[in-house]
Amino acid sequence: MQFLFRLVAILVIISTSMSAPVLAADIAGSQDHPILTRFPGSEIKWYDVQAFQPYHIPTGPVIGYGSIEDWVDTQGQVTRIYYELEGTKTQTEVYANYKKALEDAGFDILAAGVFAQSSRKLDIGSRRWLGAAYKRNELPPNGIRLLSGTSTSGGTGFIAATKERAAGTVFVTIGMAQYREDIIATMIDVIEVDEVKTDLITIDAEAIGKGILEYGRVVLDGLFFEHDKAALMDTSKPALEQITGFLNDHPDMNFYVVGHTDSTGTYTYNSTLSGQRAATVRKALLDDYGIAASRLEAHGVGPLNPVFSNASEGGRAKNRRVELVER
């Protein structure tokens, strides 16, 4: 009787292990990036986060010598997630879902291309193009099947997109390939631009011109004020010099100098402070750089025209600004 009980128990264990599906888990310590979830059913096979490193985003076709000429070079925290999807989904379906998700989230598409079948063309997203694209952002040597192939390999695709957030600029690149008829390989790289590094860059005269030409206004980056005061700090000098260069190059154009604040404090206080800061910038350009008084008119609008939500410090920092507006 005891032998029979043991035999039944063994048979139950064998039966259970044969009938229960084996669920492959993501690798330890990995997770989707908060900005973009995975295609349903995909599993994370490789995951890496670097607090700060350069990243190169390809945005043009392959040219001579098998290289890509057009790149956007950036740096910041880089999160790299490699997924594999097993089943009957096609690579073009995965591509379409990721592209729509980015567009729906307000991203601007920098580069995109998809091929239903494996292709050696030079266009963005082809199998040959992917090989050139990942030369500057190298993949780990083992386990990544994005650039590999089999007898049943299919199409490929690539998307690069960007979005300006309160926390700073973010870039996303997605490379994908039908490694086998039942496996789609996808590499998602998320680059969160380091604000501390980019804040060191002062707007230049060319950038001012582009902003005015396209939008009729431009944020004057590089102007720094003492906390809760209208006094300009010495670190603002490079920006003032660039603004002066632009104004001297366009002597027939006149502008409003417009101050903005976040929503911290009362409206009256913020309105007054923003006007004082705009007036300080105007005065510096007139007194220290010789710009004619008739060309610049200062105004403050306080918190009335935010560019981001004031709910976070990142948003408030972006909302505290001085703009040059054509008039």
| Mean pLDDT, rounded, for 167-181 | 94
* Same domain, yes or no: 152 and 67: yes
Residue 48 pairs in a beta bridge with 80
Residue 110 lies in a domain: yes
**Distances from the Cα of 85 to the Cαs of 26, 47, 306, in angstroms?**
12, 15, 42
The domain of 235 spans: 201-326
Residue 7 lies in a domain: no
* Same domain, yes or no: 266 and 293: yes
The answer, yes or no, to whether residue 17 has pLDDT greater than 80, is no
Residues 37-74 have pLDDT tens digits of 999 999 999 999 998 888 999 999 998 777 998 999 98
Residue 11 lies in a domain: no
Contact status, residue 115 vs residue 156, Cβ threshold 8 Å: yes
* Same domain, yes or no: 93 and 137: yes
* Same domain, yes or no: 100 and 190: yes
CA 24/CA 42 separation, integer angstroms: 10
* Same domain, yes or no: 188 and 224: no
Residue 167 lies in a domain: yes
Residue 20 pLDDT level (bands cut at 50, 70, 90): very low
CA 102/CA 161 separation, integer angstroms: 7
Q: Angle, nearest 10°, between helix axes 237-249 and 267-289?
A: 70
Amino acid at 151: S
> Domain end: 136, 160, 194, which one?
194
> Domain end: 159, 194, 229, which one?
194
* Same domain, yes or no: 182 and 247: no
Contact status, residue 191 vs residue 74, Cβ threshold 8 Å: yes
Residue 47 pairs in a beta bridge with 81
Residues 87-119 have pLDDT tens digits of 999 999 999 999 999 999 999 999 999 999 999
Contact status, residue 111 vs residue 175, Cβ threshold 8 Å: no
| DSSP secondary structure code for residue 250 in this structure | -
* Same domain, yes or no: 129 and 85: yes
| Mean pLDDT, rounded, for 132-141 | 90
* Same domain, yes or no: 61 and 102: yes
Q: What is the pLDDT of residue 24?
A: 53
Contact status, residue 44 vs residue 81, Cβ threshold 8 Å: yes
Residue 111 pairs in a beta bridge with 160
Q: What is the pLDDT of residue 235?
A: 86
Q: What is the pLDDT of residue 171?
A: 97
CATH of the domain at 225: 3.30.1330.60
The answer, yes or no, to whether residue 228 has pLDDT greater than 90, is no
- In 10 A of CB 237, how many CB atoms? 16
Residue 202 pLDDT level (bands cut at 50, 70, 90): low
**Structural domain count of the chain:** 2
The answer, yes or no, to whether residue 8 has pLDDT greater than 80, is no
* Same domain, yes or no: 185 and 321: no
Q: What is the pLDDT of residue 297?
A: 97
Residue 174 lies in a domain: yes
Residue 272 lies in a domain: yes
Q: What is the pLDDT of residue 264?
A: 87
| Mean pLDDT, rounded, for 124-139 | 93
* Same domain, yes or no: 150 and 212: no
The answer, yes or no, to whether residue 13 has pLDDT greater than 60, is no
* Same domain, yes or no: 43 and 159: yes
Q: With CA atoms as reference, report the closest residue to 289 among 238, 218, 222, 252.
A: 238
Q: What is the pLDDT of residue 165?
A: 86
* Same domain, yes or no: 187 and 206: no
Residue 314 lies in a domain: yes
Per mean pLDDT, which range of 20-34, 119-133, 145-159 is the poorest? 20-34
Q: Max Cα separation, the chain? A: 107
> Domain end: 194, 219, 240, which one?
194
Residue 197 pLDDT level (bands cut at 50, 70, 90): very low
Tokens 């404090």 — which residue?
265
Q: What is the pLDDT of residue 230?
A: 93
Residue 1 lies in a domain: no
pTM, full prediction: 0.62
Share of the chain above pLDDT 90, in %: 66
Contact status, residue 172 vs residue 190, Cβ threshold 8 Å: yes
- Whole-number average pLDDT of the chain: 87
The answer, yes or no, to whether residue 160 has pLDDT greater than 60, is yes
Compute and round to an integer the Cα radius of gyration of the chain.
27
Q: With CA atoms as reference, report the closest residue to 168 among 189, 146, 188, 197.
A: 197
